Amino acid sequence: MITLNTPTPVAHSGILGLGVYRPERIVTNDEICLRIDSNDEWIRERSGIIERRHAGADETVVSMATSAARKALTDAGITAEQLDLVIVATVTHRYQTPSAAAEIAAALGAVNAAATDTSAACAGFCYGLGIADGMIRSGVAKYILLIGAEKLSEIVDFDDRGTAFLFADGAGAVIVGATTAQGIGPTIWGADGTQLDAIIMEPDTYTAEKTGTPSVLTMQGQAVFRWAVGQMGDACAKAMAAAGVTVNDLAAFVPHQANNRITDSLVKHLDLPDHVAIARDIQYSGNTSAASVPLALDRLRENGEVKSGDLVLMVGFGAGLVHAAQVALVP
């Protein structure tokens, strides 16, 4: 029997750099309420959102992602030519194909990189981190650029009071590479495709452009809320156990920024000690789907609430329904 060669594995992987892009335009709750029967107080109380950012015409998934990626490369101290793979987690790139990743790789000058998009909605960044971790340790790639980028304002129905105030735009990127000690814990992930209709976008953006029928995101908010509150705490606990850490080792908790009440419930479920910083980027960024975890991590790092080498617990969850959780060291 023929035995095939495999790449030479490396022992450890970790996050080497982080960068984000926040769109220019700030949109207040009052502005959102011009189109829906709601008010600033209700939106703050029920979701935690004070304001969010909507991308302008010249701020696309690709441009926002490219900007975030440049900052992540600088933060990691590597060049675009050193990248072996670009993974983009997004559900709002304007084409079904070609991928956003191929366009971003070209824009960056990542001439040696393979490029692909991944579709895991609001869990996309944590899914991507699990994939990148495995590819680095298996020796398939030396440096991977992982980006979560969304322009959800293009697919939100601003007359739907269940979603209009929630979703927003932005991008966050990390560089994943080999490290001297393991910096990314095992990814605990899963999918429940029986709940396809809980969050769904129809039609896809390409068809929308061709037919003039806009893509619209619809969500059964209460069902998603119940699922997240009921199951994400256990996923987080499993991610910590798999990595061999406890809540006492954490510096911060960075859940997908879906709703502050979901975050509160998870904090309670996990019984997080007071020293653990809780990401509340939703207050100023809204729910940016695949971009929300890196955006929230960046906010904590910018504010000095976490520093390089600190341990954070991350969890992403959303349309599919899918979820992924892991712990990781801050770059």
Residues that bind ligand UT7 (CB under 6 A): 36, 38, 42, 46-47, 122, 161-162, 165-166, 199, 221-222, 224-225, 228, 258-259, 262, 287, 289, 318
Q: Which is nearer to ligand UT7, 66 or 153 (CB)?
A: 153
DSSP states of 227-295 = HHHHHHHHHHHHHHHHHT--GGG-SEEEE-SS-HHHHHHHHHHHT--TTSEE--THHHH-B-GGGHHHH
Q: How far is the CB of 234 from ligand UT7 (least distance, A)?
A: 16
Q: Is 256 a catalytic residue?
A: yes
DSSP states of 73-106 = HHHHT--GGG-SEEEEE-S--S-SSS-HHHHHHH
Q: How far is the CB of 48 from ligand UT7 (least distance, A)?
A: 9
Which of 93, 122, 236, 323 is labelled catalytic?
122
Q: What is the 3-state secondary structure (H, E, C) of 17-65?
A: EEEEECCCEEEEHHHHCCCCCCCHHHHHHHHCCCEEEECCCCCCHHHHH
Q: Which is nearer to ligand UT7, 77 or 230 (CB)?
A: 230
Q: How far is the CB of 74 from ligand UT7 (least distance, A)?
A: 29
Q: Which is nearer to ligand UT7, 124 or 177 (CB)?
A: 124
Which of 93, 256, 260, 323 is labelled catalytic?
256
Q: Which is nearer to ligand UT7, 226 or 275 (CB)?
A: 226
CB atoms within 10 A of CB 135: 19
Q: Is 287 a catalytic residue?
A: yes
Q: How far is the CB of 94 from ligand UT7 (least distance, A)?
A: 20
Q: Is 260 a catalytic residue?
A: no
Which sequence positions are flagged as catalytic? 122, 256, 287
